[in-house]
A = this chain, B = another copy of it.
Amino acid sequence: MDKIHLFQKSINQVISELDLKRSPAELYEPIEYTMNQGGKRLRPLLTLLACDLFGGDTDKAIYPALSIEVFHNFTLVHDDIMDKAPLRRGLETVYKKWNDNIAILAGDTMFALAYSYALKTDPELVPQVLSVFSKAAIEVCEGQQLDMNYETQQLVTIPEYIHMIRLKTAVLLGASLEIGAICARAKADDIRKIYDFGIDLGIAFQIKDDLLDLYGEQEKFGKQTGGDIAANKKTYLYLKAHELASPTQADKLIEWFADTDQGKTTQKVAEVKAIFDALDIKRQVEEVMESYYEQALASLDGLSVEAEQKASLLAYAKYLFFRTH
């Protein structure tokens, strides 16, 4: 079995062994429900891959890796309340299945559990691991606030958008890798570079998500094509189109993105996509994404370890970059 699958197996194993049959059941059932919903387990996998890359013992990194996954799932539970999202991974969201109060408190508990798992590593690693974790946690909250601000903010620039997705998505990928490197006792310069790799990979990853929402193989997976357009989300695609649009096209875009009539969704997605296509947005956004991906690879290239040590992480980065859904 290759390392990626091996590590994924370890992560799923440790999640399945979590002691969540605890009292009060009203609190722990939603936590168990959330943790067992699956997902890519992207972040803990990055932690183990980074630890392994630097020749570390991945057993020492498994609980810090778990803590990041629990933290990430906590943010989803709270984000879903804020975004009023009814579904997550094809299942009812926690606030929808139970209620807002349960979702708030189960999320808070997951945050505390995440910290308790992060402590389960060598004591001398704890201050550094926790400091990276806390910094990322604060930044993720800041990113979510900016995302909420941008919903009502008329004009969002591309640098503002990149700043937001950096905080909301990329820093946790960076921190996942950094924590893996810390657990392997990597050199300071390597730790900085693997974090930078994670930031650029994270930004590319989010732009890829924006692209896949409209151009991905949705029909295969029962997802709606153009969900972001339907929800008036100002993604990279929209911001780039807005930047390049003629006055007439810009007016049309602004008009559609102010529309909340769900009955017109099909027409809206088609018309907005037609403007995107006329402006060659897909290709241009792909180029931006590629430049972040290339920058990520350059950071990886600069690490002071043999090329073969990087093979698994590189393979996983490629998989993320070339995925079609």
Q: List A residues at the B interface (Cβ < 8 Å).
A: 23-24, 26-27, 75, 78, 81-82, 100-101, 104-105, 107-109, 111-113, 115-116, 119, 123-124, 126-127, 130-131, 133-135, 137-138, 141-142, 144-146, 148-149
Whether A104 pairs with B130 at a CB distance below 8 angstroms is no
Chain B residues with CB below 8 A from A104, complex form: 78, 81-82, 104
Provide the bound-state CA to CA distance between A294 and B256, in Å. Answer: 69
Chain B residues with CB below 8 A from A137, complex form: 112, 115
Whether A82 pairs with B105 at a CB distance below 8 angstroms is yes
Chain B residues with CB below 8 A from A23, complex form: 142
Provide the bound-state CA to CA distance between A117 and B229, in Å. Answer: 41
Chain B residues with CB below 8 A from A144, complex form: 105
Identical copies of this chain, number:
2
| Cβ distance A167 to chain B, nearest Cβ, rounded Å | 10
Whether B82 pairs with A141 at a CB distance below 8 angstroms is no
Whether B101 pairs with A141 at a CB distance below 8 angstroms is no
Whether A100 pairs with B101 at a CB distance below 8 angstroms is no
Please, which residue of chain B has its CB at the minimum distance from the CB of A24? Answer: B145
A contacts with B: majority SS: helix
| Cβ distance A26 to chain B, nearest Cβ, rounded Å | 6
Whether A119 pairs with B131 at a CB distance below 8 angstroms is yes
Please, which residue of chain B has its CB at the minimum distance from the CB of A74? Answer: B108
Among A78, A112, A149, max chain B CB count under 10 A is at: A112
Task: Say which residue of B101, B138, B145 sits within 8 Å of A82 (CB atoms).
Answer: B101
| Cross-chain pairs A/B with CB under 8 angstroms, 11 sampled | A24-B149, A27-B142, A81-B104, A82-B101, A82-B104, A82-B105, A105-B141, A116-B134, A119-B127, A119-B131, A126-B130
